[in-house]
Amino acid sequence: MTTDTVTKSCWTCNFHDGWGPDTFLGRCKYFATQGKAAKDIPPEIVDKGCKFWKEKAGKTGKIEGDEE
Ligand code: SF4
């Protein structure tokens, strides 16, 4: 049986848009898919994700930093 898991969070989400000089937690591109500007990700959301979470393309299996 496989132990592959992907924890749902902004860090593992396909819409996460990395970091920049003016954002610590990164931006969410989901809103860009709706024709709106990407938004800064709030601290209370970043570790648990939201209902729009989508697994990052090409990222299957265990995520570094997951608890054993
Ligand atoms: S806020 Fe939601 S859609 Fe945006 S990066 Fe986080 S989990 Fe993904």
Residue 6 Cα to ligand 1 midpoint, Å, equals: 14
- Write out the residue range of the structural domain in which residue 41 sits: 10-46
Per-residue pLDDT band at 8 (split at 50, 70, 90): very high
Atom of ligand 1 nearest to the CA of 51: 2
- Check residue 25 and report its DSSP letter: S
Q: What would the two tokens of residue 30 be? A: 């989901």
Q: What would the two tokens of residue 52 be? A: 């729009």
In a domain? residue 62: no
pLDDT score, position 17 = 86
pLDDT tens by residue, 21-65 = 777 899 999 988 999 988 999 999 999 999 999 998 875 555 444
In a domain? residue 42: yes
Global confidence as pTM: 0.75
Per-residue pLDDT band at 68 (split at 50, 70, 90): very low
In a domain? residue 60: no
In a domain? residue 39: yes
In a domain? residue 24: yes
Number of independent structural domains in the chain: 1
In a domain? residue 15: yes
In a domain? residue 59: no
Comparing CA positions, the residue from 16, 22, 20, 7 lying closest to residue 41 is: 16
In a domain? residue 57: no
Comparing CA positions, the residue from 62, 54, 42 lying closest to residue 14 is: 54
